[in-house]
């Protein structure tokens, strides 16, 4: 496998994991599990951004901070960068409802909005990346 093929494969794996998180988010919303769905919306956005960074061979540290990742991704995102606006708001869902003592119980609307934001980001950046793979 050529280095280009390896890079395409690794990038697509990030996108596949992002899609799986988006699918999990939708299933959890349908099951009435908004807090759990929010975690997967954040994970979808995080993995989508990491796909872009992987494709451009930009190192990134292990982090759930979407603002940090977004700042590195913005110059690489082209027209799809518009979908990064405000995505950092999803960072809190990586931890906020994962443990006892959450400040409130999130509702379906909040989960749906997060799913839509993550889904738009995934769609836009996936399309951009696929157009660059050239295979």
**pLDDT at residue 26 is higher than 90:** yes
Write out pLDDT tens, residues 39-87: 999 999 999 999 999 999 999 989 999 999 999 999 999 888 899 999 9
Unique residue bearing structure tokens 């494969």: 9
Looking at residue 104, the DSSP 8-state letter turns out to be S
Q: How confident is the model at residue 135 (pLDDT cuts 50, 70, 90)?
A: low
The first and second tokens of residue 96, run together, are 């906020």
CA distance 108 to 26: 11
First to last CA, the chain: 13
∠ Cα 56 68 123 (to 5°): 55
* C-beta separation of 45 from 90 below 8 A: yes
pLDDT at 134: 81
Write out pLDDT tens, residues 96-110: 999 999 999 999 999
The first and second tokens of residue 23, run together, are 């699918």
Percent of the chain with pLDDT over 90: 92
CA distance 123 to 135: 19
SS3 category, 64: coil
pLDDT at 81: 86
Mind listing the domains of the chain with CATH numbers? Answer: 3-130 (1.20.120.330)
Unique residue bearing structure tokens 């509702």: 107
Q: How confident is the model at residue 1 (pLDDT cuts 50, 70, 90)?
A: confident
pLDDT at 42: 98
Q: Which of 61, 49, 32, 129 is nearest to 90 (CA)?
A: 49
């Amino acid at each position: 496998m050529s280095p280009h093929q390896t890079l395409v494969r690794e990038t697509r794996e990030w996108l596949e994991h992002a899609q799986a998180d988006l699918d999990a988010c939708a299933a959890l919303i349908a099951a009435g599990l908004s807090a759990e769905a929010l975690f997967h919306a954040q994970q979808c956005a995080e993995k989508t951004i990491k796909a872009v960074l992987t494709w451009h061979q930009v190192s990134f540290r292990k982090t759930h901070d979407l603002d940090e990742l977004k700042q590195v991704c913005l110059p690489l995102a082209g027209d799809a960068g518009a979908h990064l606006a405000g995505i950092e708001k999803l960072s809190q869902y990586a931890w906020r409802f994962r443990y006892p003592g959450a400040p409130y119980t999130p509702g379906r609307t909040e989960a749906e909005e997060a799913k839509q934001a993550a889904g738009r980001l995934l769609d836009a950046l996936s399309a951009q990346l696929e157009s660059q793979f050239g295979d």
